[in-house]
Amino acid sequence: MTTDQWTIADILSWTQGHFEKLRPDSPRLDAELLLAFVLDCPRLDLYLRADQPLNEKERGAYRELVKQRAAGCPIAYLTGEKEFWSLTLEVNNNTLIPRPDTETLVEIAVEQIRKRQNNHPDSKCLIAELGTGTGAIPLAICAELKNLHIIAVDCTADVLEVAARNLQRHESLLSPRNNHIELVESNLFSKINPAAKLDCIISNPPYIPRECISSLQVDVAQYEPHTALDGGLDGLSFYRYLLETAPSLLAQNGEMLLEIGFDQQADLSSLKQDFPVWKSSAFLPDLQGNDRVWKLGLSQLL
């Protein structure tokens, strides 16, 4: 069979075998996502059009993507998109790729904010998020709730430009639902006005110990921005900052929800002892049973 006769089915089968030798995690899915991107079609169409041959231009574009994926480049950076909470989000190499694990943080945030809104039905809930990246977390929360004002902070304009395009893409989750996401370029929370008195702080902060980043899988260590991964020498730098800074920004009964590494519960429990202002603390699991979200409150009731 010559290459100009290779059909979609042939290409997918060959690529799956190629990726299985190099990247065994999801070889078939990777092949499908890249080919659907090249052909600008849904993945299902690959099976409806299985006997269709690829032309020379399509084969060339696909070949280049397969080469980059085999070298370790994440699929999301190759296609420029990632699904999160059923939302399609733009990503690029300035932004961390949203993870399924972070949906646990969204789920718990929605639950807690809904409780607060039930107790204060006439007020708009004021939330701040540290390290918004693509805007995935605030957009997911806005997909579930109304009457929110979320101040989404990140430290670079390049990242916030991506977030801004995602907000525009999902405008239907914002003004029609009386939600507003305010993008703020800031070093940590330095530009948040303490007088605002936030109802809630949410963050998926960098939490990888610096010396461990190089040992992560190639997709992460060599391609994703280290500023979004580096949690300092012990991985706890941002938690230390938030535990110290958040009380001055939160309302009296405010709370904080943080994503954590699966093995950080003991270290964070120890760290909290240095900040007695936090009266409530609970660790909540993800679907795999790993501690994934740290819920903290300034009052005894969470």
Q: What was the pLDDT predicted at 161?
A: 97
The average pLDDT across 275-279 equals 93
Answer whether residue 54 shows pLDDT above 60.
Answer: yes
Each residue of 144-180: pLDDT tens digit? 999 999 999 999 999 999 999 999 999 999 999 999 9
Each residue of 98-132: pLDDT tens digit? 999 999 999 999 999 999 999 888 789 999 999 99
Q: Which whole-number Å values give the CA distances from 65 to 27, 74, 154, in the listed order?
A: 14, 10, 30
Q: What was the pLDDT predicted at 3?
A: 52
Q: In which band, very low, low, confident or very high, does the pLDDT at 300 lie, cut at 50, 70 and 90?
A: low
For residue 132, what are its two tokens?
């918004």
Rounded CA separation 185/219 (Å): 27
Q: For the chain, what percent of residues have pLDDT higher than 70?
A: 97
Rounded CA separation 64/70 (Å): 10
Answer whether residue 193 shows pLDDT above 90.
Answer: no
Judged on CB neighbours under 10 Å (0-12, 13-18, 19+), 159 is: buried
Q: In which band, very low, low, confident or very high, does the pLDDT at 4 lie, cut at 50, 70 and 90?
A: low
| Residue whose C-alpha is closest to residue 261's, from 102, 116, 122 | 102
Each residue of 16-35: pLDDT tens digit? 999 998 877 889 999 999 99
pTM: 0.91
